[in-house]
């Protein structure tokens, strides 16, 4: 019922006018992030990952700041056993709302039936720790998006990594962190979101 009400609220709020000043950052061909309303606090993304994982015992595969019709929040892909769930939180301490149907952003739907899920399960380093490492490598600039890299699901690849998008000087900076060792990767441009 909550998911239905949330979808209804999203649908009705889309009719409202978007803020006149918005900053959109392109992550990849499937995902652009409107960072209007982002707090800019470092540690918010890793704290959210920790909070979500504590709620259900699953692992967060990806998380992004997600402004829906002027309502700032966070969208997360959560894996538990063989189940893929899509969640939204308004803040690190808010209740989780499960996204279903039309309320699921299109970038999240690409996760269903992908081998990246196995890479998330096999990762020795948590996504929260990878985000903290990425933020520290950028002098505490905050992360707005993070998840397992597509190359991590490639069985012939030696690189298993998380990709983290850091908001620095108004731009999105890519940082890659090895999901097995926790070390930053020198050339994140070689990896794909």
pLDDT in tens, 29-57: 778 888 888 888 899 999 999 999 998 88
pLDDT on residue 155? 56
Both structure tokens of 180? 């097995």
Domain positions in the chain are 2-14+24-190
Q: Are 160 and 178 in contact (CB under 8 A)?
A: yes
How many percent of the chain have pLDDT more than 70? 81
Mean pLDDT, to the nearest integer, of 123-132?
96
Closest Cα to residue 64, out of 41, 95, 38?
Answer: 38
Highest mean pLDDT among 60-69, 124-133, 145-154: 124-133
Say if pTM beats, i.e. exceeds, 0.85: no
* Per-residue pLDDT reduced to its tens digit, 166-186: 999 888 999 999 999 999 998
- 128: phi > 0 → left, psi -120 to 50 → alpha, else beta; which? alpha
């Amino acid at each position: 019922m909550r998911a239905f009400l949330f979808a209804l609220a999203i649908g009705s709020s889309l009719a409202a006018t978007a803020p006149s000043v918005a900053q959109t950052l392109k992550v990849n061909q499937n995902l652009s992030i409107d960072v209007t309303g982002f707090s800019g606090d470092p540690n918010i993304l890793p704290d959210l990952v920790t909070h979500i994982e504590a709620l259900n015992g699953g692992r967060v595969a990806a998380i992004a700041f997600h402004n829906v019709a002027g309502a700032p929040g966070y969208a997360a892909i959560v894996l538990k056993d063989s189940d893929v769930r899509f969640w939204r939180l308004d803040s690190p301490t808010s209740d989780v709302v499960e996204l279903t149907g039309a309320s699921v952003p299109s970038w999240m739907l690409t996760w269903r039936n992908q081998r990246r899920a196995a890479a998330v399960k096999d990762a020795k380093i948590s996504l929260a720790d990878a985000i903290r490492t990425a933020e520290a490598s950028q002098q505490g600039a905050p992360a707005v998006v993070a998840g397992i890299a597509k190359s991590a699901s490639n069985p012939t690849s030696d690189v298993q990594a998380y990709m983290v998008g850091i908001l620095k000087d108004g731009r999105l900076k890519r940082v890659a962190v090895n999901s097995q060792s926790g070390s930053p990767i020198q050339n994140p441009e070689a990896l794909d979101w």
